Amino acid sequence: MIDLRSDTVTKPTEEMRLAAFHAEVGDDVYGEDPTVTKLEKEAASILGKQAALFVTSGTQGNQIAVLTHTRPGNEILLEENSHIFYYESGAVAALAGVQTRTVRGDKGVMDPQDIEAAIRGEDQHFPETGLICLENTHNRAGGAVVPPANMEAIHAIAKKHSIPVHVDGARLFNAVAASGMDVKEFTQHCDTIQICLSKGLGAPVGSIIAGDEAFIRKARKWRKRLGGGLRQVGMIAAPGLVALTTMRERLAKDHQKAAVLKEALGNCEGIRVINEVDTNIVVADVSGRGMTSEMFVELLKENGVLISGFGSHTVRFTTHYDVSMGEIERASEIIRTL
């Protein structure tokens, strides 16, 4: 099977497996796991933040950020198709007791004027705006890169109103690879950020949240409350450190694979690629074939290609480390033949 469902299906590399096997460990709740400490310091340095915290998943990282920045009764602003709003099981309401106010974006990019207009004024009838959340790259916009200039403009508005900004940067390094910019061009325009180690970077598990030291101190307690205080966690932090330090530069190869898929799909009658394909995600509308997404997904599965449904008539292809260019070309040929 050629698995293009998600970059979360990647398997750890041999180097990651060996790192886990040989990891120096300790009790991380006591702050005694040297491998976790090394990972957190390295992540903070790369991201240009004072401190970082290793968490079990991107969703946990995002939820810890919301819990740390806000208080019950607050409102958070975020793009209408953002991961935090769309794919995290209503956790901001269930856990943090905050409500969401969504803003329509263009390919995941929100207009700073719309953000400012959505910030609540001083009125006893309104909740206080407690947090603004961005997403980069934007998953449901097809891995779209949110330009640093847009992030800067929104951050400036947030600072004017004394509102923190959190970035769901699950695939941030894809944005870095696509733009050719330094990662700090993106991370300087937010107060906190979450990055996944387990998507394009290929680690088996884990994410990082980063911010200033005061934020990370509070976040560490929220991690504990959520059951994320782990013991000899260096066993899974070690592969994460390998992922963070050795796998970022190769993400451009995944983008090249996505470009090949885009071209192949574009040459198929009745299939329309609907995103710009900035990074490693291709979204296609198959309604022109008279098929639902479920029918199309099943047809490809029967012929050796796994993809994801992404709506009633749209499907998603995601390239990653474990699918070679040769397999991408073979998948393209299977689709053209079908």
* Phi (first) and psi of residue 24, to 5 degrees: -80, 125
Convert the pLDDT of each residue in 180-207 to its tens digit.
Answer: 999 999 999 999 999 999 999 999 999 9
Contact by Cβ (8 Å): 53, 41: no
pLDDT at residue 330 in the model: 97
Structural domains in the chain plus CATH codes: 7-246 (3.40.640.10), 250-337 (3.90.1150.10)
* Residue 79 backbone phi and psi in degrees, to 5: -65, 145
Q: Looking at residue 109, what DSSP letter applies?
A: B
Strands, DSSP E only, in the chain? 2-3, 51-55, 75-79, 99-103, 129-135, 165-169, 192-196, 207-211, 272-273, 281-285, 305-306, 308-309, 314-318
Q: Supply the DSSP symbol for 243.
A: H
Angle, alpha carbons 205-196-70 (nearest 5°): 115
The pTM of the full predicted model, rounded to 2 decimals, is 0.96
- The stretch 153-157 carries a mean pLDDT of 98
Question: What is the Cα–Cα distance from 116 to 106, expressed in whole angstroms?
Answer: 16
Reported as half-sphere exposure (CB side, CA atoms, 13 A), residue 162 has a value of 2
Mean pLDDT along residues 115-141 = 97
pLDDT tens per residue, range 287-303: 999 999 999 999 999 99
